[in-house]
């Protein structure tokens, strides 16, 4: 078998890997790099050609891969599926994923056939390869550890995952199946490394559930705004359900284009129900109109909005900049159900947003967050469960990937013998 590391092996973002087994080629993920979009925010990305997007390192450079039997998308984060509308069509291959992720692909108007897989199904792709999705938790619903059963052994693609044993939407990870796969024998593990430098195990989303409960018990009587990741359906759903249960005399408004998009996909695929007192508005004109109504009686509404990182066009950023008809006043409460993504641009952007909101009189509650990625000891658990013959770490910069290698060496692996550091656009043959 041969592994082509198209991108995502030097950065967090634009994940794309190609596997070749006895002539059958399969693509795993097709993502964009979100922080690169921020760097080029003076340019309208939607007007750039594919070539320019590759040159700016926003999308993968797959120009040297020409054919594939299938494109497998592990989950619906932009760094895993965000480039499908630009790159998938040349392959004339079906996109295989779980229903929620396929809903998101549909919104991208891809021309490829969409092929739905459920957890536990094993789908034959080529003569020598079949694929299985194993249930795992993450910070977006319907994430899978992908298992490729091939004539040359099993390849496990764990990118991304979290081991949350007390999730608040869906089940705990399917450890039984993972253990079984491990017993059957794994040739190669390709694994993310995003939070490898965090010690211990990643805390459960249940913690955030309890924190939201505490927040809901102590809400003030002025304007209230929550912001979080639009794709974090579990957290948004918990927030809505907790507020709804409290029977607070306020209507809940969810505002922002990506909020609408992800929630629509979640509703369409039957993951959540939206209570009656919740309305969702995605279009700019709709948001302006509803906020004109809200501003006269802010104490009758709770807003859940985009903009937790201070993204330029998001609702909270526009509010802070006075570009929407909602004025922050003394005593208004703003809850960030998110951490700060630690790249310098983002840190600066978030600082600007928070400072502006504070200067306008808001009370800021921030860093209400747990990660969606495995920590160091979760990674050790996965190695022990699967006991793979070879490992290729990915989804990180060189520092993260090296840190993973150190962990694997503690588990008996040796660099360049059975664990390999690969950079983007390299190939590795495994016998
Ligand atoms: Zn992810």
Model pLDDT for residues 344-369, shown as the tens digit of each residue: 888 999 999 999 999 999 999 999 99
Average pLDDT score over residue span 193-198 = 96
Name the band, by pLDDT with cuts 50, 70 and 90, for residue 117: very high
Name the band, by pLDDT with cuts 50, 70 and 90, for residue 172: very high
Query: 91 CA distance to ligand 1 centroid (A)?
Result: 24
Query: 192 CA distance to ligand 1 centroid (A)?
Result: 9
- Token pair 């284009």 is found at 257
Which residues are CB-neighbours of 93 under 8 A, at least 6 positions away? 27, 68, 69, 70, 71, 112
∠ CA 354-358-360, rounded to 5°: 120
Query: 231 CA distance to ligand 1 centroid (A)?
Result: 10
pLDDT of residue 15: 97
DSSP string, 360-426: TT-EEE------SS--HHHHHHHHHHH--SEEEEESS-HHHHHHHHHHHHHTT--BTTTB----TTE
Query: 315 CA distance to ligand 1 centroid (A)?
Result: 23
pLDDT of residue 43: 63
377-400 pLDDT, tens digit each: 999 999 999 999 999 999 999 999
Query: 235 CA distance to ligand 1 centroid (A)?
Result: 15
C-alpha 1, offset from chain centre: 28
Instruction: Give the integer Cα–Cα distance in Å for 137 and 170.
Output: 8
86-102 pLDDT, tens digit each: 999 999 999 999 999 99
∠ CA 172-173-177, rounded to 5°: 135
Sketch out the chain's domains with CATH numbers.
2-201+372-429 (3.60.15.10), 205-365 (3.40.50.10710)
């Amino acid at each position: 078998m041969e592994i082509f590391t198209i991108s995502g092996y030097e950065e967090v973002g634009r994940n794309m890997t190609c596997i070749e087994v006895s002539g059958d080629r399969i693509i795993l993920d097709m993502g964009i790099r979100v922080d690169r979009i921020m760097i080029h925010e003076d340019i309208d990305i939607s007007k750039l050609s594919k070539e320019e997007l590759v040159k700016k390192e926003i999308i993968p450079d797959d120009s040297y891969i020409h054919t594939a039997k299938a494109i497998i998308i592990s989950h619906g984060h932009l760094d895993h599926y965000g480039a499908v509308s630009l790159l998938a069509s040349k392959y004339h291959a079906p996109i295989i994923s779980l229903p929620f992720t396929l809903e998101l692909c549909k919104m991208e108007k891809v021309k490829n056939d969409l092929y739905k897989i459920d957890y536990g199904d094993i789908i034959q792709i080529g003569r020598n390869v079949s694929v299985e999705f194993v249930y795992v938790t993450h910070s977006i619903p319907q994430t899978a550890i992908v298992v490729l059963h091939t004539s040359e052994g099993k390849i496990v693609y764990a990118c991304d995952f979290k081991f949350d044993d007390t999730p608040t939407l869906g089940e705990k990870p399917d450890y039984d199946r993972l253990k079984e796969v491990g017993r059957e024998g794994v040739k190669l593990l390709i694994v993310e490394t995003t939070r490898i430098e965090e010690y211990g195990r990643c805390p459960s989303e249940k913690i955030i559930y309890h924190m939201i409960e505490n927040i809901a018990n102590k809400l003030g009587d002025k304007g209230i705004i929550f912001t979080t990741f639009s794709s974090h359906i579990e957290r948004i759903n918990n927030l809505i359900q907790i507020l709804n249960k409290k029977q607070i005399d306020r209507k809940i408004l969810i505002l922002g284009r990506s909020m609408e998009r992800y929630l629509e996909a979640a509703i369409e695929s039957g993951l959540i129900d939206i209570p009656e007192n919740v309305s969702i508005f995605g279009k700019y004109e709709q948001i302006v109109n509803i906020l004109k109504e809200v501003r006269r009686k802010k104490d009758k509404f709770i807003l859940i909005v985009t903009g937790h990182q201070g993204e330029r066009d998001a609702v909270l950023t526009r509010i802070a900049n006075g570009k929407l008809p909602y004025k922050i006043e003394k005593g208004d409460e703003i809850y960030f159900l998110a951490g700060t993504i630690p790249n310098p641009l983002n840190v600066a952007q978030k600082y600007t947003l928070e400072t502006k909101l504070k200067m306008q009189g808001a009370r800021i509650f921030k860093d209400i967050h747990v990660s969606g990625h495995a920590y160091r000891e979760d990674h050790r658990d996965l190695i022990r469960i699967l006991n793979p013959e070879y490992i290729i770490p990915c989804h990180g910069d060189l520092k993260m990937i090296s840190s993973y290698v150190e962990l694997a060496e503690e588990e008996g692996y040796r660099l360049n013998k059975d664990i390999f550091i690969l950079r983007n656009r390299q190939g590795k043959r495994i016998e």
